[in-house]
C-alpha cells in the first residue's frame, strides 16, 4: 500500500515538473495607449528616470524605497537603482538606447526578491494630434518563474501594472499640453 502511494506521489511530482518544463521560457507583454500630447512631451517622461517617480506604478508601492541615479541625467547610459520593501524588491535599470521622440530601450536587472533581467521598449508613433505609446516588456523565465506562471497570469498582473504606468504618463503629458486660460 505504501509503495503505491509513493509511486503515485512520484508520478504526480514528475508530471508537475514536466508541465513546468514544457512552459515557454520567453515572455513578452505589451500595452499601448494614445496620448493627446506631442511625442517630445511623452518622450521626456520616459527618457529621464528622475521623472518616473511621478508615474511608475511601482513607486507608490513603497514611497520609502531608497533610490539612486548614475550616469547622465537622461538618455543612453542613465541608471536608476532602487531598494525597497518586498513588493518592489531591489534592482537597477539602465537606459540602453534613446531616440528622441521615437524610442527608449531599458534593461532592468532584478536582485530581490528574485534574480532576473527584463527588457522594456517604449515606442512612440505620431497619431493624429497626439502620440501612440507602446510599452513592451520581454525576458526569460527560469524554472521557478515558469512554475509561478502556471498559477498567476504574468500578462494580467504585469500588464495591469504597465497599463497603470501608461495612464500615469498620459495624465502628466496631457496636463503639460493644456494652455492656461487667458484673461
pLDDT tens for the chain, 183 residues: list them: 888 888 887 878 877 777 777 777 788 999 999 999 999 999 999 999 999 999 998 888 898 999 999 999 999 999 999 999 988 999 999 999 999 999 999 999 999 988 889 999 999 999 999 999 999 999 888 777 767 767 777 788 789 999 999 999 999 999 986 554 444
Nine cell digits for residue 178:
493644456
Residues 6+ apart with CB under 8 A from 143: 20, 21
Give the SS3 label for residue 72.
coil
Per-residue pLDDT, 178: 58
Q: Are 40 and 74 in contact (CB under 8 A)?
A: no
Backbone torsions φ then ψ of 67, nearest 5 degrees? -130, 155
d(CA 120, CA 104): 8
Domain ranges of the chain: 26-177
pTM of the shown model: 0.84
- Return the CATH number of the domain spanning residue range 26-177: 3.30.530.20
Give the SS3 label for residue 170.
helix
Per-residue pLDDT, 181: 46
Amino acid at each position: 500500500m505504501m509503495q503505491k502511494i509513493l509511486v503515485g506521489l512520484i508520478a504526480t511530482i514528475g508530471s508537475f515538473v514536466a508541465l513546468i518544463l514544457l512552459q515557454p521560457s520567453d515572455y513578452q507583454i505589451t500595452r499601448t495607449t494614445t496620448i493627446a500630447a506631442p511625442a517630445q512631451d511623452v518622450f521626456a517622461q520616459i527618457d529621464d528616470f528622475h521623472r518616473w517617480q511621478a508615474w511608475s506604478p511601482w513607486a507608490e508601492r513603497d514611497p520609502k524605497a531608497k533610490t539612486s541615479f548614475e550616469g547622465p541625467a537622461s538618455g543612453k547610459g542613465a541608471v536608476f537603482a532602487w531598494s525597497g520593501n518586498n513588493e518592489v524588491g531591489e534592482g537597477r535599470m539602465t537606459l540602453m538606447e534613446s531616440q528622441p521622440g521615437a524610442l527608449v530601450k531599458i534593461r532592468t536587472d532584478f536582485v530581490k526578491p528574485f534574480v532576473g533581467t527584463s527588457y522594456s521598449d517604449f515606442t512612440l508613433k505620431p497619431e493624429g494630434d497626439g502620440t501612440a505609446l507602446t510599452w513592451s516588456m520581454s525576458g526569460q523565465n527560469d524554472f521557478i518563474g515558469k512554475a509561478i506562471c502556471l498559477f498567476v497570469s504574468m500578462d494580467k498582473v504585469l500588464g495591469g501594472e504597465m497599463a497603470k504606468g501608461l495612464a500615469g504618463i498620459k495624465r502628466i503629458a496631457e496636463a503639460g499640453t493644456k494652455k492656461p486660460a487667458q484673461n
